[in-house]
Structure 1
């Protein structure tokens, strides 16, 4: 499997919950802009907890979609590891950008 195809499949999987996760990132960015560095630990744990809730929800609702990805050579661990890496990278890049702008 090529890197482009794997990346496309991972992004397709991530797009299933990117809006919800992006909304949490935007809300966290707003709180960070309002309260500054004093909120960083609380925002991190907010992101972790909401990702755990999203993980549970996605596993319940889209259980059969894992067969599709498995047949294409991607395991649950690869899907979730990659999606969470993308998600937390966007989260931290947002906070870093806000920190440098404020």
Structure 2
């Protein structure tokens, strides 16, 4: 149980460092694709494609993170959290936040 809390705290701490990239991409996708689609009335079946597009941008953020902060993982290694667990938690958290944004936009426009 202690490891789960440590992992969650590590994921949230790591997400803070890459949130501008991830949330910026989410905002662009929502504002440039979903908002016009909802206003024109053809945004109903768009959710799976948007979610896959959002998940496909995670490797770009990973690459930018590796280039800008190459030694950032030592802190998380000392906590016992591997890169794979860290990034899987970040992608899951970001996907949930994106899904929440999509549902909020749908409720706001409808």
Same fold (TM over 0.5): yes
1:98 aligns with 2:105: yes
Contact 2:29-2:50 within 8 A present in 1 as well: yes
Q: How many residues align?
A: 102
> Gaps (5+ residues) in structure 2?
none
The residue number in structure 1 matching 2:88 is 81
1:1-102 maps to which residues of 2 (within 5 A)?
1=2, 3-30=4-31, 31-36=33-38, 37=43, 39-40=46-47, 42-102=49-109
What CA distance in whole angstroms lies between the structure 2 residues aligned with 1:11 and 1:19? 13
Q: CA 1:4–1:42 in 2, change beyond 3 Å: closer, same or farther?
A: closer
What CA distance in whole angstroms lies between the structure 2 residues aligned with 1:39 and 1:70? 38
User: Which is greater in Rg?
Assistant: 2
> Gaps (5+ residues) in structure 1?
none
What CA distance in whole angstroms lies between the structure 1 residues aligned with 2:11 and 2:52? 24
Instruction: Name the SS for the 2:57 alignment partner.
Output: helix
Normalization by structure 2: what TM-score? 0.77
What CA distance in whole angstroms lies between the structure 2 residues aligned with 1:61 and 1:71? 21
Instruction: Name the SS for the 1:73 alignment partner.
Output: coil
Normalization by structure 1: what TM-score? 0.82
Aligned-pair distance for 1:100?
A: 2.0
